[in-house]
Chain A
Amino acid sequence: MNSRITDRIATGVFYTIAAIMVALLLYLFYFILSNGLPQVTWDFLTSPSSSYQAGGGIRDQLFNSLYILVITMIITVPLGVCGGIYMAEYAKPGKITNFIRTCIEMLASLPSIVVGLFGLLIFVNITGWGYTIIGGALALTIFNIPVMVRVTEDAIRSVPKEQKEASLALGITRWHTIKTVLLPYAFPGILTGAILASGRVFGEAAALLYTAGLSTPTLDYGNWNPFAENSPLNIFRPAETLAVHIWSVNTQGLIPDVREVANGASAVLVIAVLLFNILARWLGSVIHKKLTAGK
């Protein structure tokens, strides 16, 4: 009797908490999208931002965000995957491994503004590059690597032991086993993790303030030479991303339509992150199905 009531109460509490979370998220989306979506027009997405007049867009910021994301992932994924393979397959349990693990976790929990200031010191001042895309990407790499390491390690550890044994027992070397058995099996997990990390990178502002900067030179999208000053592909140019743009127009914007631009940009940002998440889930399940086909 008594335990039955407790059970009901517990069930009720969990349902309520779940409902609160869903409601919060839905309200947030409703608020951001209802304010922002009306501003998001083709013109808004494809025109450059303006400094003083109303009617500026977010073309360059959107491009910068995507470009920094790509550069970050190009650096992060190989490093993170290798680190994850090391942690899952090579690291022997012991003090050193525990120390490495602690370091990785510390790295993951560093406040992003601190990483930004660190980036300012290293990638902006010491290298003498100034505010650059590559500097921003490296700063983002710092707190993205731990995520990739963890995701890869978990994915590789989740490969059934029998699969690994089967390969080793055939006289296949450890590296070949990793390459041909473990990595393909772990691939959906790694991919999902990478896309989820992308969502985080895409929305990051604090770490980029002092590394990629608050401005973008006038870009010529016809110029594909990555070494030209006005080429969008140049990684040694400053680049204001979407998230940074939202922050900067709100704090120091001189345009009369600050609210509209900020709302529109926020909506675009949220939709992009949402798309990343949906993509991650969808791709993960498609590949998983393909791998276990026939069963």
Chain B
Amino acid sequence: MQVAAAKETIFKINDLNLWYDDFHALKDVNLEALNNEIFAIIGPSGCGKSTFIKTLNLMINMEPGVRMTGEINYKEKNLLDSRVDLVDLRRKVGMIFQKGNPFPQSIYDNIVYGPKIHGIKKKSELDEIVETTLKDVALWDEVKDRLKTSAMGLSGGQQQRLCIARALATKPDVVLMDEPTSALDPISTLKIEELMTELKKKYCIVIVTHNMQQASRISDKTAFFLHGRVVETAETGKIFSNPEDKRTEDYISGRFG
């Protein structure tokens, strides 16, 4: 616990409730995510885990009829309180989606898309961003000779890593990942997992995953969601070896979900 105390708190969620019109999707969620850690969220389909991760960069506001109460503190600033600058927030809280979604442009243009719009114009600076972010996601050696070719020509795993690079290019503090490997083959999945353990040295990572082995392999803390509630949250080692709640145990041992 001493080690954890030294790490900066990035997200602190207090009594978060969320409704889609009349449907109560998240109920009294309390969580804390620290810097340089991987925070995994597991749970069966429809438990609210994807909804939850989308609240962290307020992408949830794109859905119609959403209402929220409680607090989502990002670095001690409550996202639900004052009028938050969405542009600024999403630049700092990057997000990776289920399926790689590169723009139908060149590899280079995909990465510089964010930085360019955020005001970086110098070619040398952009070149450097492309090189460092691609190296960060271990894609540089594979694509350095074809940066100007279309990103649509990459494999699924490469596309996903490109998307991670694209998110890193805006220099975020946090990377949210919504089932980032669910559409990938085992080898690509392994690469992304290795990448995540590498990335946590610099970032706070929150990942939603369907795959319990994945959560146990890579994450530091795990939260188990069920019917919109956090049933249990603890060190990953503890939750998988010695869960406190009966429902957690049932889910982890594959008795439902």
Binding site for B on A (CB under 8 A): 93, 160, 162-163, 165-173, 176, 180-181, 185, 291-295
Q: B148 to chain A: closest CB distance in Å?
A: 11
Question: Which of A171, A176, A181 is close to B103, meaning CB atoms less than 8 Å apart?
Answer: A181
Which stretch of B92-100, B120-128, B137-145, B195-203 is in the interface? B92-100
Decide: B101 and A166 in contact? CB cutoff 8 A: yes
Decide: B152 and A166 in contact? CB cutoff 8 A: no
Decide: A292 and B91 in contact? CB cutoff 8 A: no
Decide: B117 and A176 in contact? CB cutoff 8 A: yes
Q: How far is the CA of A166 from the CA of B88 in the complex (A)?
A: 15
Question: Which of A93, A163, A165, A176 is close to B62, meaning CB atoms less than 8 Å apart?
Answer: A165
Q: What is the total number of residues of chain B having a CB less than 8 Å from a CB of chain A?
A: 32
Q: How far is the CA of A165 from the CA of B59 in the complex (A)?
A: 8
Q: Which residues of B contact A93 (CB under 8 A)?
A: 64
Q: State whether A163 and B149 are in contact (beta carbons under 8 Å apart), knowing that A168-B59, A170-B166, A171-B170 are contacts in the complex.
A: no
Q: B53 to chain A: closest CB distance in Å?
A: 11
B87 within 8 A of A: yes
Q: A50 to chain B: closest CB distance in Å?
A: 54
Decide: B152 and A293 in contact? CB cutoff 8 A: yes
Decide: A163 and B90 in contact? CB cutoff 8 A: no
B114 within 8 A of A: yes
Question: Which of A160, A162, A170, A176 is close to B94, meaning CB atoms less than 8 Å apart?
Answer: A170
B167 within 8 A of A: yes
Q: B99 to chain A: closest CB distance in Å?
A: 7
Decide: A292 and B152 in contact? CB cutoff 8 A: yes
- B residues 149-166 near A (Cβ < 8 Å) are 149-153, 163, 166
Decide: A171 and B150 in contact? CB cutoff 8 A: no
Decide: B117 and A162 in contact? CB cutoff 8 A: no
Q: Which residues of A contact B104 (CB under 8 A)?
A: 185, 291-293
Candidate in A167, A294, A295 with the most chain B CB atoms within 10 angstroms: A294
Q: Which residues of B contact A293 (CB under 8 A)?
A: 104, 150, 152-153
Decide: B91 and A165 in contact? CB cutoff 8 A: no
Decide: B95 and A294 in contact? CB cutoff 8 A: no
Q: How far is the CA of A176 from the CA of B91 in the complex (A)?
A: 14
Q: How far is the CA of A176 from the CA of B88 in the complex (A)?
A: 14
Q: State whether A162 and B97 are in contact (beta carbons under 8 Å apart), knowing that A169-B59, A171-B114, A172-B117 are contacts in the complex.
A: yes
Q: How far is the CA of A117 from the CA of B80 in the complex (A)?
A: 55
Question: Which of A169, A181, A292, A295 is close to B90, meaning CB atoms less than 8 Å apart?
Answer: A169
Q: Which residues of B contact A295 (CB under 8 A)?
A: 150, 152-153
Q: How far is the CA of A185 from the CA of B152 in the complex (A)?
A: 14
Q: State whether A169 and B87 are in contact (beta carbons under 8 Å apart), knowing that A176-B117, A180-B113 are contacts in the complex.
A: no
